[in-house]
Chain A
């Protein structure tokens, strides 16, 4: 028999729980943050991402030209087997349609960030929602949702993405984003569910339950926040995979059909490989950019995981 607690009592209990969840002295987050700043790997990864973000945000200010404008001085020099390299005013030369390649690379940061962030966020949101439902409700809901993730995990991730895009009636930028997002849903869902199940048996949840805290509050205020760290690490790592998958889809002809779109995966996967023998720089630059950004997110993600690992606490 449980009796509803008065508001005052409940507030006091939550206060106590909040206080006890911080084991004497430093909080986990502050401790992890400090360790992150001391880790050179994290600094390198963070710097790459920061640079990438700055270029993406200030692209119109940094880029010398409009990325979709065709320049007569460039198009005149385009032939079947030559694409003009660096000339006055066009530091990286031309792309196959006579557009300023340097500007397309710079604006590419924006589009790549857009694709990567959205694919990761959508996958994370749906995954977290499903995982939280499964972990919190349990029973047949849990069973059904986990069988669903089984089906999604029955294909290697890139093949699932290929299948999803191939089964869509036509490809747009959104098809790619959604496909890459869906691929990551089961990963986030399982991660969150596992973490929540582990906590359901843990002391702080048991204590909260014994004190009569409502189930909804236990889930939302105790279990979910404590599970999110793993999800954040996974999201950071997912970003790298997302832009690589998007590039692979472009290479297979399943990418965004918009020829004006300047996105690194698209630039590499379509023009880059098509004109590889004519002008390899069209592949080198976007590939290098993708490698760097993927590297940055991987380094940062792994440093965060390391910093949050209680084994490394001193």
Chain B
């Protein structure tokens, strides 16, 4: 097992390095590049040359690449072109906002998705099942940013049920401890701040949860249906095992494997949905950072670091999913 994990980890690092190498050479091959992005088109040749030298772009490409690799390994991504702050600082400031949003979304998606998918399968062909199928189909066909605007329009402007944007009400005197606003409120006993942050979290989390929720429901339903068809369920039934025992030990346990896979994949992909969701709700997390670093002046140092971060999260989650198979299903030998 340990040898498997270490081999997979090496593979993972190689993949990430290859990705960063591709991004590096692609960026260097662009006409203009970061210097033009920073100075605009009207800069004098002198300023341009000064900055080129300051940023080290006058060095041979392999020297630049070597330094780039060293920086990536040591976690030094340079400074943001837009704000001038170190990239790591910019990212770690936005990080908690997105994690909070993603955790809320995945709780909704799993908490609703697995039971709903299971119930739909148990009541196959009945009203609940058909309704679930239709709703999930629409869920995967709707552009989620549009859903976000729709929810915002109906529930904030119309009914004033939720705040339209941001993570916390302006004027709320909250103490920043961890950057996770809901958690901070609990830690500092400012429960009103926690409640306010939670209230702001509802709509963005629902928006972000839509696609994973729909997919988890569909996979759970299909998987449970497959298991219910198996001979061993009929056997268990015939033996006179009580229904709850069959459900828990036989159906759920066996149906779980594909569900775990899809939960892992969807969790890793949440950052992609967060880019859209955060723009709708002006959330100010990593997604907002991605949108900001691609619009107008392209903030390549930030973008590079974000790409690496997103990829790292994604491949690590995938690895964890693969490893969890062995725990859930002893028949699976991880290779």
A interface, CB within 8 angstroms of B: 147, 150-151, 154-159, 162-163, 165-167, 169, 240, 244, 247-248, 251-254, 265, 268-269, 272-273, 276-277, 280, 283, 287, 290-292, 294-295, 298-299
3 nearest A-B pairs in the assembled complex, by CB-CB distance? A156-B269, A294-B141, A158-B272
A283 touches B315 (CB 8 A): no
| Contact indicator A150/B15 (Cβ below 8 Å) | yes
Cross-chain contact A283 with B314 (CB below 8 angstroms): no
The answer to whether A283 and B149 have CB atoms under 8 Å apart is yes
Most chain-A CB neighbours within 10 Å: which of B157, B272, B290? B272
Select the residue from B14, B27, B138, B311 with max chain A CB neighbours within 10 A.
Answer: B311
Tell me the complex Cα distance, A298–B215, Å. 13
A272 adjacent to B146 (CB under 8 Å)? yes
21 of the cross-chain contacts (CB-CB < 8 Å) are A147-B14, A147-B18, A150-B18, A151-B22, A154-B315, A155-B307, A155-B314, A156-B310, A159-B271, A159-B272, A159-B310, A166-B293, A240-B141, A247-B143, A247-B146, A269-B143, A280-B153, A283-B146, A283-B149, A295-B141, A298-B141
Contact of B276 among A147, A154, A248, A294 (CB under 8 A): A248
| Chain B interface extent, by class | 35 or more
Q: How far is the CA of A163 from the CA of B27 in the complex (A)?
A: 11
Q: Which residues of A contact B18 (CB under 8 A)?
A: 147, 150-151
Q: Which residues of B contact A298 (CB under 8 A)?
A: 137, 140-141
Question: Which of A155, A162, A273, A276 is B294 in contact with, Cβ under 8 Å?
Answer: A162
Contact at A254–B294, with CB atoms within 8 Å? yes
Asked if B202 is at the interface (CB within 8 A of a chain A CB), the reply is no
Q: Roughly how many angstroms separate A162 CA and B23 CA in the complex, as a whole number?
A: 13
Does B31 interact with chain A (Cβ within 8 Å)? yes
- Contact at A287–B272, with CB atoms within 8 Å? no
Which residues from A are CB-within-8-Å of B275?
A: 158-159, 162, 252
Contact A154 B19 (CB under 8 A): yes
A166 with B298: CB separation less than 8 A: yes
- For residue A190, give the distance in angstroms from its CB to the closest CB of chain B: 14
Interface set, chain B 251-297, CB cutoff 8 A to A: 268-269, 271-273, 275-276, 279, 290-291, 293-295
A248 touching B271 in the complex, CB below 8 Å, given contacts A154-B315, A166-B298: no
Binding site secondary structure of chain B: helix
Name the distance in Å between A31's Cβ and chain B's nearest Cβ: 21
Say yes or no: A169 contacts B30, CB within 8 Å: yes
Residue B43 CB within 8 A of the other chain: no
**B142 on interface, CB distance cutoff 8 Å:** yes
Contacts of B291 in A (CB 8 A): 252-253
Q: Could you say which of B27, B145, B315 contacts A273, with CB atoms under 8 Å apart?
A: B145
Q: How far is the CA of A158 from the CA of B11 in the complex (A)?
A: 23
Residue pair B146, A154 in contact (C-beta under 8 Å): no
User: How long is the Cα–Cα vector from A283 to B280 in the complex, in angstroms?
Assistant: 14
Q: Which residues of A contact B14 (CB under 8 A)?
A: 147
A277 to B152, CA, bound (A): 11
Q: Which of A157, A167, A240, A265 contacts B27 (CB 8 A)?
A: A167
Q: Which of B23, B143, B290, B310 contacts A248 (CB 8 A)?
A: B143
Q: Is B62 at the interface (CB under 8 A from chain A)?
A: no
Does the CB pair B146–A287 fall under 8 Å?
Answer: yes
Pair B145/A269 contact, Cβ less than 8 Å: yes
Q: How far is the CB of A266 from chain B (nearest CB, A)?
A: 12
Contact B143–A244 (Cβ < 8 Å): yes
User: Apart from A163-B303, A295-B138, what 12 extra A-B contacts exist at CB < 8 Å?
Assistant: A150-B18, A156-B269, A159-B269, A159-B275, A162-B272, A165-B294, A252-B279, A253-B291, A272-B146, A273-B149, A287-B146, A294-B141
Pair A154/B279 contact, Cβ less than 8 Å: no
In the bound complex, residues from chain A placing their C-beta under 8 Å from that of B111 are none
B310 touches A155 (CB 8 A): yes
Say yes or no for B110: interface residue by CB 8 A criterion.
no
